[in-house]
């Protein structure tokens, strides 16, 4: 009985305090219709008004996104009836976008993101702010940058202008710790991260990789610290600790040349000469018999000017051993009693300048060619085309490989055009009938090459020296027009092209070569490699040393496995065990990656 009494009392009190909605008045709206606002409300004319409905409807109208202020008021018109007044304050109509604080993304890029969410000429909808923030943040992240979108909304000083304010984290100071030989300026030239510029985690990692792969430092000799915030909001100091390695190498010894003759050698090389990031190399060689001493001097400056132009100079007088190479007999080539050498004496200079992902290059080479050790018997085979060669080298490349040395991702496309001038004054041997090459002739050699590298994406905090499996692909096509001397043709075969075949096995005025490699790191400096080469050359001089040639494409397959390991100061050394499609095999020795 007591419970029934309490319930009846509560119902009676509610009936006396609850009012019915007599009318709903909506004011302050200019562009958003009254019906659109009313449709979101639970409060209806003729229904009882609950306090909770007032709160819920106010929130629902705000959630439309068109109003900067919403108030729901009531006015009693009798003991049992009330009027509900909805007072809204609209955001202004957006007619233009103003972006401040941006430098990484262009203003029109951010404007496009804004306009994809908010149509111009309509009332600003505050719900679009999150979509715009997310879109801008993603666009920055796609470029490898962080950003804080500080404000998205109407500009107080110009209500019809939508103000988008971003804060880009910037670089304060960059400290380089532990450098003794290497000049700080050289490190800062390699690095693309600069004080005062927006901070990019992707660019910072690229800088660390490029420094590591200079091989001027120990394996663990490039250690970046975590960015340290400064007193200035959004600014961070960076630092790298270095442990330098020896980069200069003096070597003297005795070896066998490709013709199995004893050769005394003396060489000096340094990839970081005087700590200036320049490369220098001097090499002297003297065989016990043959064409006399060989000498070569090379100098490279990767920072020739303030625009990162690189320069390479070479002066040489060296003996060249033709139709030999590092094959199954690493000190000999094809089986033949006719052994002959060439002395090439000359110089070359080249310049290369980057512009973003593009690079342009120009070079010049001049050399004199003289055949040596010619004492042929009637059965010997040899080639003699003595004279002068002058070549202009013009190149353009698009390159996104990372890092630039031993890349694991990215691609490159390069075009090289080499107009050449030949003045041949003496011919003999197997090419004595090619008299059209005598005298002055012009030719143009063109090469188009594409490279692509794939690897599994690792977490961003993975150390740069952590090895990873890489799939590498290369395809190149060459073409020559004009009258060209024999050894200026396009050659395919050997350790740096079509493995499994003799060095210089195929030649001609056209060539094609494709290579696919899978490089699997067993240790940091040791890789197992599986490879397949497919290509050839055609439309050249006739048969020499039983090397049959083709006037049309006749491409060959070579495949096998190899190992590559890195030796300090000497660089990468490769040994490839290759098979060809005729069932023969060869072992190839080379320095550096195949490409």
**C-alpha span between 164 and 99 (Å, rounded):** 5
Task: Tell whether the torsion through CA atoms of 461, 465, 469 and 474 is positive or negative.
Answer: positive
Domains of the chain: 15-90 (3.10.20.310), 96-167 (3.10.20.310), 170-244 (3.10.20.310), 248-591 (2.40.160.50)
3-state secondary structure 252-269: EEEEECCCCCEEEEEEEE
Q: What is the largest CA-CA distance in the chain?
A: 136
**C-alpha span between 327 and 495 (Å, rounded):** 7
**C-alpha span between 284 and 317 (Å, rounded):** 10
Instruction: Tell me whether the omega of the peptide bond preceding residue 403 falls within 30 degrees of 0, making it cis.
Output: yes
Residues 6 or more apart whose Cβ sits within 8 Å of residue 466: 458
pLDDT recorded at residue 257: 58
pLDDT recorded at residue 571: 78
3-state secondary structure 483-504: CCCHHHCEEECCCCCCCCCCCC
Among candidate residues 179, 194, 188, 239, the one with its CA nearest the CA of residue 210 = 188
Give the single-character DSSP code of 436.
Answer: G
DSSP strand pairing (278-287 vs 262-273)? antiparallel
H helices present in 173-218, as ranges = 184-190, 201-212
Give the single-character DSSP code of 93.
Answer: B
pLDDT recorded at residue 273: 95
For the chain, 595 residues long, the average pLDDT of each consecutive 10-residue run is 43 56 94 94 93 94 95 93 95 96 94 96 96 96 91 93 95 96 96 94 93 92 93 93 94 70 86 95 84 92 93 94 53 44 94 96 97 74 92 98 92 98 93 91 98 90 86 98 94 93 93 97 90 96 84 95 85 92 91 77
**C-alpha span between 478 and 489 (Å, rounded):** 10
Query: How crowded is residue 135: how many other Cβ atoms within 10 Å of its Cβ?
Result: 18
Give the pTM: 0.80
**C-alpha span between 189 and 307 (Å, rounded):** 10
DSSP strand pairing (383-399 vs 410-429)? antiparallel
């Amino acid at each position: 009985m007591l419970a029934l009494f309490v319930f009846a009392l509560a119902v009676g009190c509610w009936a006396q305090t609850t009012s019915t909605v007599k009318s709903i008045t909506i004011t302050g709206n200019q562009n958003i219709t009254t019906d659109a606002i009313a449709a979101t409300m639970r409060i209806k004319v003729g229904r009882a008004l609950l306090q909770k409905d007032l709160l819920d409807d106010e929130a629902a109208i705000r959630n439309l996104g068109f109003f900067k202020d919403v108030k729901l008021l009531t006015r009693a018109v009798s003991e049992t009836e009330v009027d509900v007044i909805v007072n809204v304050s609209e955001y202004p109509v957006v007619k233009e976008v103003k972006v401040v604080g941006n430098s990484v993304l262009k203003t029109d890029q951010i404007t496009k993101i804004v306009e994809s969410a908010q149509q111009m000429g309509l009332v600003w909808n505050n719900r679009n702010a999150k979509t715009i923030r997310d879109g801008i943040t993603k666009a920055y992240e796609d470029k490898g940058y962080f950003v804080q979108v500080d404000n998205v909304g109407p500009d107080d000083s110009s209500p019809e202008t939508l103000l988008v304010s971003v804060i880009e984290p910037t670089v304060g100071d960059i400290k380089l710790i532990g450098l003794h030989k290497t000049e700080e300026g050289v490190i800062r030239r390699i690095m693309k991260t600069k004080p005062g510029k927006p901070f990019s985690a992707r660019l910072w990692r690229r800088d660390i990789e490029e420094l590591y792969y200079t091989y001027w430092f120990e394996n663990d000799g490039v250690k970046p610290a975590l960015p340290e915030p400064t007193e200035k909001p959004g600014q961070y100091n960076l630092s790298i600790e270095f442990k330098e390695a020896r980069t200069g190498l003096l070597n003297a010894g005795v070896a066998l040349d490709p013709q199995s003759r004893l050769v005394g050698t003396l060489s000096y090389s340094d990839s970081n000469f005087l700590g200036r990031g320049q490369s220098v190399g001097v090499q002297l060689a003297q065989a016990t018999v043959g064409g006399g001493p060989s000498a070569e001097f090379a100098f490279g400056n990767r920072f020739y000017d303030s625009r990162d132009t690189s320069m390479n100079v070479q002066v040489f007088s060296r003996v060249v051993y033709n139709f030999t190479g590092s094959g199954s007999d690493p000190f000999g080539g094809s089986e033949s009693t006719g052994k002959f050498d060439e002395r090439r004496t000359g110089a070359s200079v080249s310049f290369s300048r980057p512009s973003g992902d593009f690079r342009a290059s120009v070079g010049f080479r001049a050399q004199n060619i003289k055949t040596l050790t010619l004492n042929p018997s009637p059965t010997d085979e040899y080639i003699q085309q003595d004279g002068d060669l002058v070549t202009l080298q013009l190149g353009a490349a698009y390159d996104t490989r990372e890092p630039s040395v031993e890349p694991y991702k990215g691609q490159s496309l390069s075009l090289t055009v080499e107009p050449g001038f030949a003045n041949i004054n003496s011919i003999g041997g197997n090419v004595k009938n090619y008299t059209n090459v005598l005298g002055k002739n012009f030719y143009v050699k063109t090469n188009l090459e594409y490279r692509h590298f794939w690897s599994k994406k690792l977490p961003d905090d993975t150390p740069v020296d952590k090895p990873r499996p890489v799939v590498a692909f290369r395809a190149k096509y060459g073409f020559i027009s004009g009258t060209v001397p024999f050894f200026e043709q396009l050659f395919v075969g050997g350790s740096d092209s079509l493995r499994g075949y003799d060095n210089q096995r195929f030649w001609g005025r056209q060539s094609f070569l494709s290579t696919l490699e899978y490089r699997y790191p067993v240790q940091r400096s040791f890789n197992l490699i599986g490879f397949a080469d497919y290509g050839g050359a055609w439309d050249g001089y006739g048969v020499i040393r039983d090397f049959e040639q083709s006037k049309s494409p006749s491409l060959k397959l070579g495949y096998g496995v190899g190992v590559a390991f890195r030796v300090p100061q000497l660089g990468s050394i490769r040994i490839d065990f290759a098979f060809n499609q005729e069932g023969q095999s060869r072992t190839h020795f080379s320095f550096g990656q195949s490409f």
